[in-house]
Amino acid sequence: MGISCNKVVNTFVKQGLFLRKYWISRKKFYYYVTYDELLKFLKNNQNVWDSTFLEENALGAEWEWLRLKRQKDKVNNEAWQRIISEKEFNLINFMYQCC
């Protein structure tokens, strides 16, 4: 999703994301989020994350709220609105043809 772990631990947890701790050994552990908890958090806090970095169907079947979120983010995101020049367009096409 393109989100740093610091943002998840420091910001999203304060906004209601429930992290679980899994201990690997006595000294090492990692945090994880269940699928249902993640979907619930993303649906209820759509204003704190950007769906443009999330691949289509990355969370399984596309939910209606996620489709609407994508459309809204495309309108509000400058990267989607940027008009590229003909030179840039030709360069991008050339790169895809080479690979």
- Alpha-carbon span 37 to 59, nearest angstrom: 12
Q: What pLDDT digit, counting tens, does each position of 6-50 carry?
A: 777 778 888 888 889 999 999 999 888 999 998 999 899 888 887
| Total domains, the chain | 1
Q: Which residue has the tokens 């989020």?
A: 33
**95 falls in which pLDDT band (50, 70, 90)?**
confident
Joined tokens for residue 42: 């993303």
pTM of the shown model: 0.65
Question: Which tens digits make up the pLDDT trace of 49-90?
Answer: 878 777 888 888 888 998 888 888 877 666 555 556 677 777
Two tokens, residue 6: 């610091």
- Domain limits for position 19: 5-98
Taking the CA atoms of residue 64, residue 70, residue 71 and residue 72 in that order, the dihedral angle to the nearest 10 degrees is 110
Q: For residue 46, what are the contacts with CB-CB under 8 A and spacing of at least 6?
A: 65, 69
